Structure 1
Amino acid sequence: MTTTTPNYIVTTGDFIAEWMEDEGINAAELARRLDVTRKHVSELLSGKAPLSHPLALALERVTGVPARIWNQYESGYRSDLARVQETRELEAQYEQAKAFPLSYLRKWGYVTASARERADTVRQLLGVLGVASLSAFETTWAEGSVAYRRAAVGREHAPAIATWLALAERHHDELNELPAFDRSALETQLPGLRALTSGEVLEAIDDAVERLREVGIVLCFIPAVPGLGIHGATRWLNGRPIIQLSLRGKTDDQVWFTLFHELGHVVLHGGKELYLNGDLTRAEEEADAFASNVLIPPQFVPRLPRTRDIAGVLALAKELGTAPSIVLGRAQRETGDYAWGHSLKRKIEFRTATPAS
């Protein structure tokens, strides 16, 4: 939500001066009545001197206006001063903020301020990142105690990666409502999760979210940042895994494979690491193998079609209880022939501007 800062500030002294005018009292007389110096009254009227609580009580006795009202005037004035100063500081950070994917954040409604509203743009970006300033972002993500954050900012496209990861952290409040992570329960759930792939895609995804919650895993979907090239990520927060998928590719076989890939990290690796789908590491290779073997167990691999055999894909998918697109995708990878069977793949689109888990 965009906020508007007024271009003028009403000081507590303005309200005092208004009372003085109504009563026909000058500054010298008010100083005598308050038992303070004329200089203090002058600074109070100009807003230079703060209104103390004892002086608010004295004003109550002199003016008949309750001290709480004078304190409210003072609090509002000081708040306005701070807001004006904050606006200047936020505007000064705008050039630095442009390193982050602002157009992406606007597209999905995470930032509603326009490019002309520089202070509000930076303010909303900081809200996404969960920091008070961009210098605080640098120290929090590069030097803080959370290992996966440090790993994120050490990469190419660090601002985009950090933004994408930070959006998923909005789900961290749910962690308190989740049971402790249960690895054996997750492994028991894997066949049922695989069976979900054959159902209606969006309903199956919702079901997967709930099933994973039961074993202490947060699964959320955050739109892909253009140019980032990341399908999914896994890391641990407060002892529980958070898996986020980008729906990059937007077909059901890719989304399901990425989910089981990330679950491979949860089962095989764990710990405090950040796993980004697409990295060229041994852990990524192991997660790929895990996903491949769970979705299509090794004993079924020799039965994958080696030609453009739609009927063979459908038959094997039915026997496995999986989506035909998953069998097709595996057959395509095995043969290197990707130019067929596209009608078996179902497209997935985000349903809301700010998707939630």
Structure 2
Amino acid sequence: MMLVKPIRSESDYEANLARLGDLIDAVPDTPEGDELEVLATLIERYENDRYPIALPTPLAAIRFRMEQGNLTPRDLEEYIGSRARVSEVLSGTRPLSIGMIRSLNEHLGIPAEVLIRPEPRQEERASVELAKPAAKQLLAWGLMQAKESFEAFMARGLGGGQALAMLRKTRTERTNAKTDFVAVQAWCAAVLLRAENATVTGPFDLTEVRKLEIVRTLAKLSIHADGPRRAQQTLSDLGIILVILPHLPGTHLDGAALRRPKDGAPVIALTLRRDRIDNFWFTLLHELAHVAFHLTDDRACIVDELDIGSSEAIEMEADELAGTALIPDEQWEAWDVKGTYTGISDILAFARKMEVNPAIVAGRWQKTHRDYRKFSKLLGHGTVRPNFTDLIPGVG
């Protein structure tokens, strides 16, 4: 284990980011897991001190909470006042009063330090700054051009005038409280730039993609060493583009479901943040569920950090479909009888019965029993990314 030291320079920062990537799959409560936790804290502190993320404007925070909770302007009347007053606040013509701030803070959970900030002048509203670590990574990948403004990059990635609509309609409930949402949007734009010239081998048929047997067929590919690559071809046959793009600094995303602006073609994007077989297959099928059931003209992008639970209907549905395709609940409950000893031979036998990779059984066992040490060697650490070396920027 390397000696952990304070981060005092950009070179220290880059070295610690590289080490963090090596340790990302470390098991908790091990020397590597402890080092991962300490490194993550040091990196977060350095980024916060060196590249502080600006607070959102009061209007942006209110609109985000409305989007997150599916609230209408009428729902705000309880906290702001009459319909006319709500309209004035949302249009930016009426500032928030102390009473409104207290009510929005108490009932909608919007931080008071955000609500008390003044709204920027009209000419300042379009200016959004991307944090330097994220911009630096996009430049390194060749996706952002030298001296290109963030607005120009977003317009190029999201299809010109559609950029602002994309920003408003991205679903971000399943993200960390410290997530840099500007970097999330930049990552979405980068994904779409990677998908811009991608071709598929079959037409997209929504009825076909919604069939459980299709999703189950994908899950069964997990038994193959090159299963992730076979999944890419199967998705292509279904008219779906697969993009592999690591997450940006300030984000903790696992994946997303998007629509390509120029033609509406569905795109599944994965970060491979955790290079493990069980994570890959669950995330892939979760995003496929979003493609099949949840992307609409008004919801062109759904992003996910799957460590975070969600009570939102579309997230629960996607979790359920992914889990059912891999191992149906009734099969799991019949096998994983509480109190019954489970050994490696049991995992392997049940995986053969379910026609899935043993890593999927081991990963579900760990999550069910909250024991992340047992069966950790079965999870296939470090075996997914090698399937996509030609698709990962800076690798292929």
Q: TM-score range by the shorter chain?
A: 0.5 to 0.7
C-alpha contact 2:130 2:182 (8 A) present in aligned 1: no
Match of 1:221 in 2: 244
C-alpha contact 1:221 1:356 (8 A) present in aligned 2: no
> For residue 369 of structure 2, what is the amino acid of its counterpart?
T
Task: Name the CA distance, whole Å, in 2 between partners of 1:153 and 1:330.
Answer: 26
2:345 to 311, 321, 341: 311
SS in structure 2 of the partner of residue 235 of structure 1: strand
> For residue 304 of structure 2, what is the amino acid of its counterpart?
N
2:168 to 150, 158, 182: 150
Which fold has the larger relative contact order, with Cα–Cα distance below 8 Å and residues 6 or more apart in sequence?
2
Runs of 4+ off more than 6 Å: 124-127
Give 1:1-357 correspondences, 5 Å limit. Answer: 96-98=129-131, 101-110=134-143, 121-123=146-148, 128-131=153-156, 140-142=162-164, 144=165, 148-152=166-170, 157-170=180-193, 171-174=195-198, 178-185=202-209, 187=211, 188-200=213-225, 203-237=226-260, 238-272=263-297, 273=299, 274-278=301-305, 280=310, 281-302=312-333, 303-304=335-336, 307-346=341-380, 347=382, 348-349=384-385, 351-352=389-390, 354=393
C-alpha contact 1:217 1:242 (8 A) present in aligned 2: yes
Matched pairs, number: 247
Task: Name the CA distance, whole Å, in 1 between partners of 2:156 and 2:209.
Answer: 36
Task: Name the CA distance, whole Å, in 2 between partners of 1:316 and 1:222.
Answer: 33
What is the Cα deviation at residue 158 of structure 1?
2.7
Task: Name the CA distance, whole Å, in 1 between partners of 2:281 and 2:205.
Answer: 21
Unaligned stretches of 5+ residues in structure 1? 1-93, 112-119
Task: Name the CA distance, whole Å, in 2 between partners of 1:288 and 1:258.
Answer: 9
Q: TM-score, normalised by structure 2?
A: 0.54
Task: Name the CA distance, whole Å, in 1 between partners of 2:374 and 2:224.
Answer: 22
In 2 relative to 1, CA 345–268 (structure 1 residues): closer, same or farther, beyond 3 Å? same
Q: Percent identity?
A: 24
What is the Cα deviation at residue 317 of structure 1?
0.4
Structure (1 or 2) with the greater helix fraction: 1
In 2 relative to 1, CA 282–331 (structure 1 residues): closer, same or farther, beyond 3 Å? same
C-alpha contact 1:234 1:243 (8 A) present in aligned 2: yes
Q: TM-score, normalised by structure 1?
A: 0.60
Task: Name the CA distance, whole Å, in 1 between partners of 2:281 and 2:221.
Answer: 9
SS in structure 1 of the partner of residue 223 of structure 2: coil
C-alpha contact 2:155 2:163 (8 A) present in aligned 1: no
SS in structure 1 of the partner of residue 204 of structure 2: coil
Task: Name the CA distance, whole Å, in 1 between partners of 2:257 and 2:128.
Answer: 31
